[in-house]
Amino acid sequence: MTERLPVILDVDTGIDDALALLYACASPELELIAVTCVAGNVSLAQVARNTLGVLELAGRADVPVAVALGADRPLVKPLRTTEETHGPHGIGHAALPATGQREVASVGAAQLIVDVARRRPGEVQLITLGPMTNLAAALDLEPRLPSLLRGWTFMGGAFRVPGNTTPTSEWNVFVDPDAAKACLAVWAASVGADPGTRLPLGMGLDVTESARVMPADVARLTRRAGAAEEDAAALADPSTLMQSGGSVAASPALRFVVDSLRFYFEFHAQYDGFYGAFIHDPFTLAATLDPSLVRCEPVFVDVEVGPGLAHGMTVADWRGITGRAPNIAVATSGDAATFLDRLIDRIGGLAGVSGS
């Protein structure tokens, strides 16, 4: 097997973060070093509970540092959570297993990121799937972090498309635009000072919303997991709401996927006009592991932190008007079909009914 990519995942575990965690646990080319938590979709305490529960569900007691707690609020503005999107506990209609005796790490998220990067310079990929508050704190501790990390991928921004939180802003950036602005500024300075610093990969709504999970995809995933054909087929029936039952409910991991996605589907049906879901975070992780899934353009990006309709907007200088050097490799298109096939294969394999 080829050498695995060491990864720290920084999450605000709602439904799509949970799917990204499962995808990570099912990816043999990934070495999951640690998972750091930040308030975002739900409160920090709930993020930690969800993260521990998903790792327990995936059978990943081997993760060296399972959960490290980070920021419980944005740098400047009050925390806004999104229970209407992810449910009151961040995992939709699903439930998670008890996490046994495993507790959160004694070291905080920002310090952990810095410690790992210093210990393994040039090796570790940081992937932030929520607000960038923990990374901003880590950069305060260690401004050389961009050159110490192998790279940084983030899910966030709307670069050539409308926002999903305001007309111009995407959720993760909107929650803590001050952190996003600070992180991108530090990376811009590091790229200018050290040509060896890699541009971060920015996975915004431009690409993540090209991947829609639909009931038929969930049915495919349950078949991959070994569910009975009648139970899998029922999930794709357009005349009924997606329910876990029979052999699907026999696998705790498979039941979690179906029950959490059902809430997500209900949200998108109400607000986006289709019974399915965008799954931003797993696509971000998949593109980090396989860059051929996306096409990117280097561009200078800043973040609007002032009031008004542009609050939280990721402002991309596509024409080079500012004269600033690029500080992000923005994903502009992606192979959603290949990603979805991979998601179904990996999470379906992890959630196998026969192994439950």
Question: From its phi and psi, is residue 59 left (phi > 0), alpha (psi between -120 and 50) or beta?
Answer: left
pLDDT at 356: 40
Contact assessment for residue 36 and residue 126, using Cβ atoms and an 8 Å cutoff: no
Grouped pLDDT means (10 residues each) for the chain, 356 residues:
88 96 96 96 95 90 79 97 90 82 85 96 97 98 96 98 96 98 96 89 98 95 93 84 84 93 93 94 98 98 96 98 96 98 96 62
Which residues are catalytic, by number?
Answer: 280
pLDDT at 1: 47
Phi, psi of 66 (to 5 degrees): -65, -50
pLDDT at 245: 81
Q: How far is the C-alpha of 100 from the C-alpha of 82, rounded, in Å?
A: 28
Residue 191: how many other CB atoms lie within 10 Å: 22
- Whole-structure pTM value: 0.95
Give the helix/strand (H/E) hosting 328.
strand 328-334
Q: Where are the alpha helices (DSSP H) in the chain?
A: 15-25, 44-57, 83-86, 109-119, 133-141, 145-148, 171-175, 177-193, 205-208, 215-224, 229-235, 247-250, 252-271, 280-289, 336-350
Q: How far is the C-alpha of 351 from the C-alpha of 246, rounded, in Å?
A: 15
Where does 5-204 sit in CATH, by number?
A: 3.90.245.10
Residues β-bridged to residue 126: 8, 152
The three-class DSSP label of residue 294 is strand
Sheet arrangement for strand 65-69: 65-69, 30-37, 5-11, 125-128, 151-155, 201-203, 328-334, 294-299
Contact assessment for residue 126 and residue 10, using Cβ atoms and an 8 Å cutoff: yes
With 0-12 / 13-18 / 19 or more C-beta atoms within 10 angstroms meaning exposed / middle / buried, residue 119 is: exposed
Q: In terms of Cα–Cα distance, which of 122, 281, 128 is closest to 200?
A: 128
Q: In terms of Cα–Cα distance, which of 19, 345, 351 is closest to 208?
A: 19
